[in-house]
Amino acid sequence: MWRLLFHVLTIVLLTLLTQIGGLAWLVALPFKRRLPAFLLAYALLALAAIWIAPHFGRVALSCTERGPLQVQSWMYCAMNRTYVAPELADVLAETAGAMDRAYPGTKTLVLDAGFPFFDGFPLLPHLSHDDGGKADIALYYADGGTYLPGKTRSPIGYFAFEPGPTECPAAWPSLRWNLAPLQALWPAYELDEDRTRRVLQTLAADRRVASIFIEPHLSAHLGVTGEKIRFQGCRAARHDDHIHLQTR
């Protein structure tokens, strides 16, 4: 009974985290050396997803590209969270190219995007990211006024919040984590305001971009406003550690 429960929970957890991990675990169950079988099955399924995803209207962002647009961490690639609709892939690539032309050497880093298959499948812990039309990009950082290409304050690009006022009350249920104990652990990089302001302006000017989520105190500090630049709400995660954009 406990063994069955363990396998059911493992399948559910792997499916929620990676979409294909639960299937890989099912494939590995008959094998005596289960972990190697799982890793092999997972790798093969992940490779197959790159070729199958276009039939679901998704393409995989490159996990090996060293140009202006890069995935921030190998973790997002390993967990199949780098899939977007072709239109959004174009927006991201063109935005990164524009940033590199404005500020040569700039690296625009993608965080969570979406899974390869099925609209409506949740990309936890996000409240959206379920149709290939949403992606998060990291903020740009500097150290002592010198831009840090490809660097983020936290290892995964999230949870290193920029300080600023909020009108959000303490509420439950909510994904608005402050994670105060973690903040002292991150490097004391400062926000590269010029690049962050420029990327917001570039995205807002793109007719394909429907909306951009960023914390109000940060957009106000940067002096960037507009009908596309919105507050995500008090029950969603804070957006002063990253920028969320969506095309639909």
Q: 3-state secondary structure string, the chain?
A: CHHHHHHHHHHHHHHHHHCCHHHHHHHHCCCCCHHHHHHHHHHHHHHHHHHHHHHHCCEECCCCCCCCEEECCHHHHHCCCCEECHHHHHHHHHHHHHHHHHCCCCCEEECCCCCCCCCCCCCCCCCCCCCCCEEEEECCEEECCEECCCCCCCCCCCCCCCCCCCCCCCCCCCCCCCCHHHHCCCCCCEECHHHHHHHHHHHHHCCCCCEEECCHHHHHHHCCCCCCEECCCCCCCCCCCEEEEECC
Convert the pLDDT of each residue in 151-164 to its tens digit: 999 999 999 999 99
Give the pLDDT confidence score for residue 160 in this predicted structure: 96
pLDDT digits (tens, 9 = 90+) for 183-195: 999 999 999 999 9
User: What number is the average pLDDT over the span 38-50?
Assistant: 97
Tell me what the mean pLDDT of segment 68-93 comes to.
97
Give the pLDDT band of residue 178 (cuts 50, 70, 90): confident
> Could you tell me the pLDDT band of residue 1, with boundaries at 50, 70 and 90?
confident
| Reported pTM | 0.93
Are 111 and 160 contacting, i.e. CB atoms less than 8 angstroms apart? no
Query: Is the per-residue pLDDT at 205 higher than 90?
Result: yes
- Of the chain, the percentage scoring pLDDT greater than 70 comes to 100
Query: What pLDDT is stored for residue 248 in this prediction?
Result: 73
Does position 170 have pLDDT exceeding 80, yes or no? no
Please say if the pLDDT value at position 4 is more than 90: no
Q: What is the pLDDT of residue 2?
A: 81
- pLDDT of 221 strictly over 80: yes
Q: What is the pLDDT of residue 114?
A: 97
Asked whether the predicted pLDDT for residue 19 surpasses 90, the reply is: yes
The predicted structure's pLDDT at residue 169: 81
pLDDT at residue 167 in the model: 82
CATH code of 58-246, in short, is 3.30.1380.10
Statement: residue 50 has pLDDT above 90: yes
How confident is residue 128, by pLDDT bands cut at 50, 70 and 90? confident
Domain residue spans of the chain: 1-56, 58-246
The pLDDT value recorded for residue 126 is 87
Higher pLDDT, 243 or 248: 243
Lowest mean pLDDT: which of 18-27, 74-83, 226-235? 226-235
